[in-house]
Amino acid sequence: MELLHRYEGNPILTADMWPYPANTVFNCGATRLENGDTLLLVRVEDRRGISHLTAARSRDGLSDWQIDPEPTLLPDESPGSDEIWGIEDPRIVFLEELGKYAICYTGYSHSGPHVKLALTKDFRTFERLGSVMPPEDKDATLLPRRINGRWVMIHRPVSAFTGSADMWLSYSPDLIHWGCHEVMLEARRGAWWDANKIGLSPPAVETPEGWLVFYHGVRVTPAGSLYRLGVALFDLEDPSKLIRRGNEWIFGPEKEYERVGDVGYVVFPCGYTIEDDGDTIRLYYGGADTAVAMAKGSIREILDWLSTQV
Ligand code: BMA
């Protein structure tokens, strides 16, 4: 059963649409603004290889993109900076309590990738809260609300001990100090599509049945890595409690714009929006680390499919 359907106008954003020179535009955070418009915060890789983030806005979330004429959020490239090699892969969540959007993104430091956090009200000015997880760690998001008084972050540290990469949870009273770390979801082993290396894709989706989490699995093959997407469901009041995990991936690189590019065979969603019907989810994803594409599905259908998994 096909749970996610590609938009026929894919890819929706490419480097040749950019108002200034760019190598590639791909993994983007997504949100719907108060007026219903879609905002994508797009990872733009420049022609040195360093990434920054630029906002693109659209009425219908598909066409007529208004792209900021200049980079929206640039890395600090000053000597000693912990994002000297760029900022990447933003995940956006609206925090009702603060009336602000939280953006978790990857800062690329001399010691490797790590998690950074910024807040904004308008995607024009940003409050940078700095580094919240040391290297190597990425694929992070906040949950949109506190659970039992604490903010919750999903992230993906890499173990130097096993070399594998699993998803973890951490908790904070103030968004700055994080602790009580615990495993959320482990990569499988062996031949599985999600063996050895997994990571959160877009932010978790709150549903009446639990947190619906789309995650990527990286299958390493002699010809390179395959990035595919799967789903799992976690308890609403205790997100460390796995309710169910899909066995098969639900989305993988098939189309030319997913198979051919700077890094082929990659689909990498970092954001979603929900249509006015409250059920249709639009995943915005990077295709082959080169362009932005969209695929949509029904949250109800995905939950029903998950309930068949043992
Ligand atoms: C991951 C991330 C993504 C990228 C993917 C494929 O490790 O860095 O930004 O899309 O690799 O290159």
Tokens 């700077």 appear where?
Answer: 262
How many alpha carbons lie under 13 Å from residue 246 in its C-beta half-sphere? 25
Structural domain boundaries, residue 151: 13-307
Please give the average pLDDT of every successive group of 10 residues along the chain, which has 310 residues: 96 98 98 98 98 99 98 98 98 98 98 98 98 98 98 97 95 98 98 97 98 98 96 98 98 98 98 98 98 98 96
Q: What confidence score (pLDDT) does residue 16 get? A: 98
In a domain, 234, yes or no: yes
In a domain, 69, yes or no: yes
Q: Is 289 in the pocket of ligand 1 (CB under 6 A)?
A: yes
How many angstroms separate the alpha carbon of residue 263 from the centre of ligand 1?
8
How many angstroms separate the alpha carbon of residue 268 from the centre of ligand 1?
7
In a domain, 194, yes or no: yes
User: What is the distance between the alpha carbons of residues 198 and 217, in angstroms, rounded to a whole number?
Assistant: 5
Determine contact, residues 255/235, Cβ cutoff 8 Å. Answer: no
In a domain, 3, yes or no: no
Q: What confidence score (pLDDT) does residue 1 get? A: 77
Q: What confidence score (pLDDT) does residue 310 get? A: 83
Q: Which atom of ligand 1 is nearest to the CA of 262?
A: 12
Total number of domains constituting the chain: 1
Q: Which atom of ligand 1 is nearest to the CA of 139?
A: 2
In a domain, 5, yes or no: no
Q: What is the CATH number of the domain that holds 19?
A: 2.115.10.20
**Among 26, 51, 89, which is best to mutate for testing ligand 1, by the most ligand atoms less than 8 A from CB?**
89
107 burial class (0-12, 13-18, 19+ CB within 10 angstroms)? buried
In a domain, 1, yes or no: no
Q: Kindly report the pTM of this predicted structure.
A: 0.98
Output the residue whose Cα is nearest ligand 1's atom 12. Answer: 263
> Does 136 sit behind a cis peptide bond, omega within 30 degrees of 0 on the bond before it?
yes
pLDDT in tens, 259-270: 999 999 999 999
In a domain, 95, yes or no: yes
